[in-house]
Amino acid sequence: MITRPLLVLILALSSLSIFLTPNIGSAGQVTLAWDMNNEPNVAGYKIYYGKASRNYDWFIDVGNVTQVTITDLPNGSTYYFAATAYDNSNPPIESTYSDEVNKDMCTYSISQTNASFSASGGTGSVSVTTQPGCTWTASSGASWLTITSGKNGTGNGVISYSVSANTNTDARTASSTFAGKVFTVAQSGATTYTIRASASQGGIITPSGSVTVAQGANQSFTVTPNAGYQVSHVAIDGVPQEATSSYTFSNVTKDHTIAAVFSVKTYTINASAGPGGSISPSGNKSVNHGANQSYVISPNNGFTIADVIVDGVSQGATGSYIFSNVTSNHTISAVFKVNSFTITASAGPGGTISPSESISVPNGGSQTFTISPDASHAISDVLVDGSSVGAVSSYTFRNVTGDHTIYALFVPGYTLSITTSGTGSGHVVAHPLATAYAPGTKITLKAIAGEGSNFSGFSGDCESNRSKCTLIMSQHAEINATFEQKNFKLIATAIGNGSISVEGLASIKNKKIKNKTKIKRSKQAITVSYGSQLVYHINPEPEHYIKKIIVNGKPIEAVDTLTFANIKRNHRVRVWFESQAKFIQNPFKKAIAKQAVLQDIQDRDISEAQQFDSYDTGEDTSIPPPSYTDQYASLQQ
């Protein structure tokens, strides 16, 4: 009895190989070969195959041979193959499947197998022809040949590629695999151009001289200045460019020139001076590398040099400074201080001067001294540098440019100080008038009001509401006279169907009102200041007219606008309005003028009884022009 061999693991099919033969027509064939098993009882082999892995539709018992050819396999599919061994028992024992092999039963062709390009490169495409379902790939054989599309496909397709520019002068060839076929690209060498590089004195350019560059290639140059120089500019093909340390010609397609131009490196020294002097030269000074630069520091009259500061470091109070072998930017600033002068202050018996003794004052400065008499004394005189400046209580030296003296003199007696206050103007006359008054001296004071002002009264050491005041000197006296600005009252009354609008700044019951405050069918009093102006706009209602206007008890021509200018007295305005129908019935009425301007020539305070007399009856009368002597009327049609 023959023992069944252990064929599962020892079936020696690991060396199974496939030999393809060319397809004929629409079918192909596969040749399979394998190593013979070592078991002596092996009787033969079976070959299994199908269109899916480990799923075999057919098998062939090839007997005890180690090679077989399977024919009539339709193209366009992948077939999977495995083998088993069986022994000579009855029934025979069969081993498990060997390792699996597969094979595409496809044929491939490409539309062209080679192409040629110039040095500038370009693009191309190759058509792939094969059976439906047959897959293929495309791979480049050189870095300068790039597959742009169609790296893989199934069935018929197109492979596109590009060829980069050849920057070398030598020609080159690349073989690529397209759908299992060899595709060869040949490219000619590049044309060369010359770039001529040069440099001026003060630096170098690298590389220099004539440089050969292949067409489409790049060429870089480095520009390096010598010590103490800098790149002024770089000229490309004769055209100056910005100063740069390098330049690259990209994609060279013609001859070029490059020229590096250098200049001596310069530095800036900024020189400035504070108040009281100057530095020369001043401002920003350009200095060549390695050169020297000198500066002179000069104080103005009345000043001295306090310090010279170079790059933030004090150099002391020097009148000159030299920057030697300049290799960087610098700063220099001059600081000055004011010369000082002495003012000697002193006072005689009977008072003091403050400050006293010797006072130091800077050149151009100011110093004030206060002179104060003792009790029962008055200032007699003040001497400045020996000359009298009067009996002043203070004196100021201004813009001091030298030494001075000041000396205060006093006499027994009292002083009289007179001041004014209030909204108006005026002055006070004292009789007798003196610098100092002996005890018991009788003084008469008289207040004189300025134009447009009223005197309100004296206060202080002499109090009175009258314009005169008598004072007996028994001490230093201080008197104040108050003057108030004159104010006047303007009263406007609208009678009938119309209104009077006020324009300008005025006041009602001492309160400011806005422009164009409307006074309608009413009596309104407005207080204004001396010399001011007030404008009335007279506005009849529709179907009405201005019948008459009475100013200060006297009629004027009917106007739209009535202006009181330079007001120096009280005024009253009354306006009557009447229906237009009555105007038509009265053929003697005059046309209305546009405006009238009434101006006070002088002050004249008239009582209301005098100002506001007749003409209040409202009767129709003939209206004469203004006739009072201190006003004039300007009428404009």
DSSP labels for 482-530?
EEEE-EEEEEEEEESSEEEEEESS-EETTEE--TTEEEESSEEEEEEET
Q: Is residue 57 part of a domain?
A: yes
Q: Is residue 537 part of a domain?
A: yes
Q: Which of 295, 322, 338 is the last residue of a domain?
A: 338
- Binning pLDDT at 50, 70 and 90, where does residue 438 land? confident
Residues 502 and 605 in one domain: yes
Q: Which tens digits make up the pLDDT trace of 90-135?
A: 999 999 999 999 887 888 899 999 999 998 899 999 999 998 878 8
Residues 437 and 305 in one domain: no
Of the candidates 102, 93, 90, 103, the one whose C-alpha atom is nearest the C-alpha of residue 37 is: 93
CATH number of the domain to which 619 belongs: 2.60.40
The side-by-side arrangement of strands in the sheet containing 256-264 is 209-214, 192-199, 256-264, 229-236, 239-241
**DSSP-assigned letter for residue 388:** E
CA distances from 74 to 9, 20, 46, 105, 175 (A): 33, 14, 21, 7, 32
CA distances from 402 to 46, 298, 341 (A): 136, 20, 6
Residues 298 and 357 in one domain: no
In whole angstroms, give the CA distance from residue 14 to residue 97: 11
Residues 95 and 112 in one domain: no
Q: Are 435 and 458 in contact (CB under 8 A)?
A: no
Helix (H, G, I), strand (E, B) or coil at 434: coil
- Binning pLDDT at 50, 70 and 90, where does residue 378 land? confident
Q: Residue range 457-476: average pLDDT? A: 90
Q: Residue range 591-608: average pLDDT? A: 64
Residues 176 and 309 in one domain: no
Percent of the chain whose pLDDT exceeds 70? 85
Q: Are 382 and 411 in contact (CB under 8 A)?
A: no
Q: Residue range 451-472: average pLDDT? A: 91
Residues 157 and 245 in one domain: no
In whole angstroms, give the CA distance from residue 615 to residue 48: 146
Q: Residue range 3-27: average pLDDT? A: 39
CA dihedral of residues 508, 511, 515, 516 (deg, nearest 10): -30
Q: How many domains does the chain have?
A: 7
Please determine, for residue 2, whether its predicted confidence score (pLDDT) is greater than 60: no
CATH number of the domain to which 33 belongs: 2.60.40.10
- Binning pLDDT at 50, 70 and 90, where does residue 78 land? confident
Confidence (pLDDT) at 617: 35
Q: Is residue 2 part of a domain?
A: no
Q: Is residue 307 part of a domain?
A: yes
Q: Supply angle C-alpha 612, 617, 622, rounded to 5.
A: 95
Tell the burial category of 504 from Cβ atoms under 10 Å away from its Cβ (0-12, 13-18, 19+): middle
Q: Is residue 353 part of a domain?
A: yes
Q: Is residue 1 part of a domain?
A: no
Q: Which tens digits make up the pLDDT trace of 519-532?
A: 445 678 888 888 88
In whole angstroms, give the CA distance from residue 577 to residue 584: 14
Residue-averaged pLDDT of the chain: 84
Residues 120 and 224 in one domain: no
Residues 239 and 334 in one domain: no
Residues 494 and 428 in one domain: no
Which of 171-185, 353-367, 451-465, 576-590 comes out lowest in average pLDDT? 576-590
Q: Is residue 530 part of a domain?
A: yes
Q: What are phi and psi of 282, to 5 degrees?
A: -115, 165
Q: Which of 76, 104, 132 is the last residue of a domain?
A: 104
Please determine, for residue 466, whether its predicted confidence score (pLDDT) is greater than 80: yes
Q: Supply angle C-alpha 458, 459, 462, rounded to 5.
A: 80
Taking the chain, what is the end-to-end CA distance rounded to the nearest angstrom?
158
Confidence (pLDDT) at 289: 94
Helix (H, G, I), strand (E, B) or coil at 584: helix
Q: Which of 485, 504, 528 is the last residue of a domain?
A: 485
- The parent domain of residue 617 ranges over 487-636
In whole angstroms, give the CA distance from residue 261 to residue 236: 11
- 453 Cβ partners below 8 Å, 6+ apart? 422, 424, 425, 426, 483, 484, 485, 486, 530
Question: What value does the CA radius of gyration of the chain take, rounded to a whole number of Å?
Answer: 62
Residues 498 and 596 in one domain: yes
Please determine, for residue 611, whether its predicted confidence score (pLDDT) is greater than 60: no
Q: Is residue 15 part of a domain?
A: yes
Residues 591 and 507 in one domain: yes
Please determine, for residue 27, whether its predicted confidence score (pLDDT) is greater than 70: no
Tell the burial category of 126 from Cβ atoms under 10 Å away from its Cβ (0-12, 13-18, 19+): buried
Residues 91 and 152 in one domain: no
Confidence (pLDDT) at 84: 94
